[in-house]
Amino acid sequence: MDAFPEDDLDELLFEPFLPSPPDSQTWDSSNQFANEEILQDWIDDSQPSATIELEEPQDSGGTPCAVARDRYRCLFLQLRSCTNRCRNWVIDRIESMLEQVVDGLLTEDEQLTISLKTRIGLSRRQLNPTQNAGAAPPPRTIELNYPGSNVQEARRFTIVVRILELILCCLIDDIVMTKRDMYYRHPDLFGKQAIVDRYVDDVACTLGVSRSLLNVTAAAKGLTSGNFVINRPDGTSVHGLSEPEGILVPTVHDGQTLDVSCVHWVLIIEKEATFRSVLSSPQWKVLGTQGLVLTAKGYPDLVTRKFLRQLADGFPHIPMFAFVDLDPDGIHIMSTYKHGSLRLAHEVVTHADTPGVNLPNLQWLGVQSHHIYQAPGNECDTTTAAIADAQGVMKLTARDRKKAHHMLEWGVCGEHSSEPAWRAELQRMLMLNIKAEMQILDELPGGLVSWLSKQLEVMRDRSADDEILF
């Protein structure tokens, strides 16, 4: 089983975006039928649960341009209604699940049962050797019974029924509810927030849809700051540098525009304390005009990942960097940003069976083992064995070692994996029994922020050189 800390379950949530609109490079204005195919594929990939039948266009005088215009208009109108069709499909499925419960009560069945699909307790170690190392295993099916064999089973059944009722009300009334609001509707029944989080995700997994189609969301917890502006249709705007301590990670809604013309890089920082140190440093007056910094205070939440994905999709030329501790948790957090969460794999599969929400071009800025040599007192001996005795280095805990071993069995950190540098650092940690926090760089001349500033400049120039080459 993957080593997910219980307190971090809610932080591993994220959801997919719709595929990007048809690429202008593949759009051929002279080829009507190829363009229709592109648009239809876009619709199909956007909402796989919806069934779309292409209606024949009305007679538009017979000219090729008029016919093409009407057919494209028909496709786009169907795309616009696609979300509503999926919403209605979800409503029908949930109503069907609740009707089975009601029918069982009316017929006085001895046992009422709800079947759910879940990814809790799954591991990529369960994959066959012939399967893709980065793929996610299929969800397992669980059954919740009432009255069940004990009180706890009956309580779990009641919780799921109540969650289904709340989701159904949100969909019918077309309102969005946060998971926190859902919990406070019945705190005595749910017991704790993690219970609500788990079963909301299980319902989404069972229906094969993203959590957004359940009209359930999570409140933002991440912070960001930088030289960006969000312009709203009513003429108001939100500037990323408006608050000295940062602003909550925003949600860019339809009709709003995101201006990042002055942003040259994006820096994701694992810890809130380090994020605040950067913003309060003298160097931030210059850094803040050049880029965007962000923290999810640990594992990324849905809103944070959605905002970053919008940046990656809309502005792929802006490089993104991760700054995390040199320990298994730091690499795991970076992996969640870049590759996603196994527990919610049903939310991130697109038409090509590839992650729909990730940051595939995310680069690891630090902390890495060779950065330890740069700290004062560690410059003289640069041998691998000397790292264990370097100043500021700590010993791995039993939990750290267990987590590292589990990660080495995952697809992205496994043998012949897509992240050999991550695997090498995990192996080095285990061999030397060491880890290091990012605060080790505070001992450098100018402190951690000066080091970040220099590294960002180097990495940015390197990314620019790569773009020129390719």
Is 214:178 a contact under the CB 8 Å cutoff? no
Catalytic residues: 184
At 139, give phi and psi (nearest 5°): -65, 155
Neighbouring-strand partners of residue 257? 231
> In angstroms, how far is CA 64 from the centroid of its own chain?
43
Token pair belonging to 321: 């960097």
Measured between alpha carbons, how far is 198 from 48 in angstroms, rounded to an integer? 24
Is 82:50 a contact under the CB 8 Å cutoff? yes
Measured between alpha carbons, how far is 81 from 104 in angstroms, rounded to an integer? 35
Find all residues with CB under 8 Å of 200, minimum gap 6, and list them. Answer: 163, 167, 179, 182, 211, 214, 216
Measured between alpha carbons, how far is 375 from 84 in angstroms, rounded to an integer? 57
How many Cα atoms within 13 Å fall on the side-chain side of residue 309? Answer: 25
Give the DSSP letter of residue 57. P
Amino acid, single-letter form, for residue 392: G
Measured between alpha carbons, how far is 458 from 456 in angstroms, rounded to an integer? 5
